[in-house]
Amino acid sequence: MQSTYKMDFTEELKKCVKCGTCRAHCPLFVELKGEPGSPRGRLALIKRLHDGKIKPSQELADIVYTCLLCKTCTVNCPSGVISDEIILAARDSLNQSMDQSVIKKALLKGFLTRPALLHSCMSMASLYQKTGMHNVLTKSKLFELLPDKLNAVTKIMPDVTKKPARSRIPVVTPAKGEKKFKVAYFLGCATNHIYPDVPVAGVEVLSQNGCEVITVEGVKCCGMPHMAYGEVDTAKEMAKQNMDILLKEDYDAVISDCASCSSTFKETYLHIFDEGSKEYEQAKQLADKTWDISDFLVTKTGIKPGTKEQKVKVTYHDPCHLKRAQNIFKEPREVLKNTPGVEFVEMKDADRCCGSAGSFAVMHHDLSMKVLDKKIENAQKVDPDYLATSCPTCTMQLSYGLKKAGSQAKVVHPVQILAETYK
């Protein structure tokens, strides 16, 4: 198995003793049942690919890509097998040896590598929604005639009519009161274009809590979508540019409001560059400086809430890339509990994957919805005003699930609720 992923998985693959513990925890195996739908089954096939006993094929690719990368199997494995990392390496290997679709190449090597092009694309989507075409086509049920994956996109497509966060936030936002830290704020693709209210709130909250906030310009996508689809070389090029920019000045911290972005900076960049290289050393520096915004508020600044009190019931969903990848789960809850007027109620299985996993909800829509339905059922039992989470793709998935279930609850980031207290 040839991969540009800078880890040798020969010994790692041998660690799987086929005990089946992973099957009991995998949110997909519950739905798929068969062995290829389990982490153990995927690893067995990948080992055969690695050993040269089978060749790359579309059938194998379909199995390897039917994984949420939620890390549930990894954190529960008695042998410590890093299954999600092996899956990523296998996808990279398959990507190198098989022809890729034109649409995939255009998305990963075009739109997500060129911020200006992505902005233009989102502007067109915004225009499409503003003209009312989306509502007309939805009511006419013409979407039902579209191919399955395109139909899935139209179903879960959120409102993108708001101005991007980049145009709403100054490059430099001074600290209100005593300046404690100078931080760089990384604007991820999804929060910038789809949920701009999140970084707007994030910058405000950091400023209120003693941070001078630099909304760094020139950065690109963190690269997580590219890693998930085997485009490691493309991810490396974007990582180089992001590291050069984010490490150019001596910031006290690099802050992200997106679980996937912070996880990529803290973990993934270290796995795609050779140890001892300039880029590897930069990746170590960036990993040390990167903070999830809730973690930074709780651990470094402390939380100074505003005076406006809200009377709302809130529950929280743990993004996989925050709890299992970064072991951050108490901190978002602390932000909520320290927000005046918030009644925080824990939901059952709050850390169970919602089934989004980036584009998984599109590529494997029906399967994703089965995972989502369990999450929404648990959320509705709490009957919250807000379902908070720290990941834009989780926000998209959960919002669709609540709407489909007829719930009036809104999905927000914890800092959005806290920011309201300053108004």
Q: What is the pLDDT of residues 177-225, one digit of tens each?
A: 999 999 999 999 999 999 999 999 999 999 999 999 999 999 999 999 8
Residue 86 confidence class, pLDDT cut points 50, 70, 90: very high
For position 338, what pLDDT does the model report? 95
For position 162, what pLDDT does the model report? 76
For position 147, what pLDDT does the model report? 47
For position 126, what pLDDT does the model report? 54
For position 303, what pLDDT does the model report? 95
* Averaged pLDDT, 336-352: 97
For position 33, what pLDDT does the model report? 84
Sequence-distant (6+) residues with CB within 8 A of 147 are: none
- 357: three-class secondary structure by DSSP: coil
Angle at 72 between CA 389 and CA 152, to 5 degrees: 60
- 378: three-class secondary structure by DSSP: helix
* Averaged pLDDT, 318-347: 97
Q: Would you give the end-to-end CA distance of the chain in angstroms? A: 55
For position 11, what pLDDT does the model report? 84
pLDDT at 390 over 50: yes
More confident residue, 382 or 1: 382
For position 146, what pLDDT does the model report? 45
* Averaged pLDDT, 272-286: 95
For position 114, what pLDDT does the model report? 58
For position 399, what pLDDT does the model report? 96
Whole-angstrom distance, CA of residue 191 vs CA of residue 214: 16
pLDDT for 19-41, tens place per residue? 999 999 999 999 998 899 999 99
* Averaged pLDDT, 85-111: 72
Whole-angstrom distance, CA of residue 81 vs CA of residue 75: 9
Lookup: tokens for 127: 């225009």
For position 97, what pLDDT does the model report? 79
pLDDT at 145 over 50: no
What CATH number has the domain spanning 305-420?
Answer: 3.40.50.1860
Q: Averaging pLDDT over each range in 99-103, 293-297, 355-359, 363-367, which range is the top one?
A: 293-297
Residue 165's nearest CA partner among 208, 197, 125, 205 is 197
Whether 40 contacts 23, CB under 8 Å: yes
Angle at 250 between CA 244 and CA 255, to 5 degrees: 75
Whole-angstrom distance, CA of residue 159 vs CA of residue 7: 40
Dihedral over Cα of 45, 42, 149, 112: its sign: negative
* Averaged pLDDT, 318-330: 97
Lookup: tokens for 348: 């059952």
Amino acid code (one letter) for 23: R
For position 29, what pLDDT does the model report? 93
Residue 396 confidence class, pLDDT cut points 50, 70, 90: very high
For position 6, what pLDDT does the model report? 56
Residue ranges per domain, the chain?
Answer: 10-97, 305-420
Q: What are phi and psi of 7, to 5 degrees?
A: -145, 140
Amino acid code (one letter) for 227: M
Length of the chain equals 423
Of all residues in the chain, what percent carry a pLDDT higher than 70? 84
More confident residue, 140 or 6: 6
Q: What stretch of H or E contains 99?
A: none
For position 380, what pLDDT does the model report? 97
For position 362, what pLDDT does the model report? 81
More confident residue, 118 or 419: 419
**In 10 A of CB 171, how many CB atoms?**
11
Q: What is the DSSP string of 107-165?
A: HHHTGGG-HHHHHHHHHHHHHHHHTTHHHHHHHHTGGGGS-HHHHHHHHH-----SPPG
pLDDT at 109 over 80: no
**In 10 A of CB 291, how many CB atoms?**
23
Q: Averaging pLDDT over each range in 120-134, 159-173, 240-254, which range is the top one?
A: 240-254
Please determine, looking at this structure, whether the domain spanning 10-97 carries the CATH number 3.30.70.1560.
no
Amino acid code (one letter) for 274: D
Is 10 exposed, middle or buried, given 0-12, 13-18 or 19+ CB atoms closer than 10 A?
exposed
For position 122, what pLDDT does the model report? 55
Of all residues in the chain, what percent carry a pLDDT higher than 90? 70
Average pLDDT across the chain, whole number? 88
pLDDT at 299 over 80: yes
CA distances from 254 to 106, 187, 197, 355, 394 (A): 29, 11, 19, 28, 22
* Averaged pLDDT, 357-381: 92
